[in-house]
Each structure stands twice: as structure tokens, then as C-alpha cells.
């Protein structure tokens, strides 16, 4: 369809720009999935995913949260919990991807915990 001046925009250029953009989006999505998988592990399909955020108030509290995470895992829930991290994984990236990917976020604190 001609514009105000009477020129028609070439359709081939539009398609190739759309294809380039679509390919860039696909590449970005694939890289993001690989990075997410390298940080969060291979999350099985069909399992609920829970991210646990907790206060590091005491060793006893940390042990309690770890047992709770293990109990959830034994019930078929995929738990994202920092104690399960491989060394070298950055906590901020784990938290960002974990919260984004999880179905539920559990925040566990104690009376000592202050925001």
C-alpha cells in the first residue's frame, strides 16, 4: 500500500526485519533457559516449584528450614533452597531466577528477624 508520497514499502524488508527480531528473541530465550537451568538445576515438568527465603538467625533455624525443605521435596515438590546451591553460584541470581520460576514463595522468619 502506497504511503502519502506514493511509495510502497518493500514487503521483503519487513519480513526480514521481523525474522531477525524473532531469531534474536529465540536466541535470548534459549540463553536465558540455559542460564536458569545452570543456576536452578533441571526442574522436572509437572512438579510444583517452591522458593524458600528464610532468615539466617541461628544454626538451629537453618537446620529447621533445611528439614522443612527436605520434607517438601519428599512430597514431590521441587524446592529452590540456597543450601542446595553448587559452590560458585551467586545468591542474587539464584534468588532472581528462583522467585521468577517458582509457583510459590515461602518466607520463613523468626521473632529475631528484622526487615
pLDDT of residue 3: 66
Grid cell of 29 as nine digits: 530465550
Blockwise average pLDDT, block size 10, the chain, 115 residues = 66 60 78 74 85 86 91 92 73 84 89 70
Per domain, the residue ranges of the chain are 49-108
pLDDT of residue 17: 65
Rounded CA-CA distance 68/92 in Å is 22
**Model pTM score:** 0.66
Q: How many C-beta atoms lie closer than 10 Å to residue 21's C-beta?
A: 10
In the chain, which ranges are E strands?
Answer: 49-54, 78-80, 104-108
pLDDT of residue 71: 95
pLDDT of residue 49: 93
pLDDT of residue 75: 94
Residues 112, 60 contacting (CB under 8 angstroms): no
Amino acid at each position: 500500500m502506497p504511503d502519502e508520497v506514493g511509495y510502497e514499502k518493500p514487503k521483503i524488508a519487513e519480513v526480514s526485519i521481523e525474522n531477525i527480531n524473532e531469531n534474536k528473541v529465540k536466541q535470548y530465550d534459549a540463553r536465558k533457559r540455559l542460564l536458569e537451568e545452570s543456576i536452578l538445576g533441571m526442574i522436572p515438568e509437572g512438579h510444583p516449584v517452591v522458593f524458600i527465603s528464610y532468615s539466617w538467625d541461628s544454626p538451629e533455624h537453618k537446620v529447621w528450614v533445611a528439614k522443612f525443605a527436605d520434607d517438601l521435596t519428599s512430597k514431590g515438590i521441587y524446592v529452590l533452597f540456597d543450601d542446595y546451591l553448587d559452590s560458585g553460584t551467586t545468591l542474587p541470581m539464584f534468588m532472581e531466577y528462583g522467585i521468577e520460576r517458582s509457583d510459590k514463595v515461602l518466607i520463613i522468619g523468626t521473632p529475631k528477624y528484622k526487615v
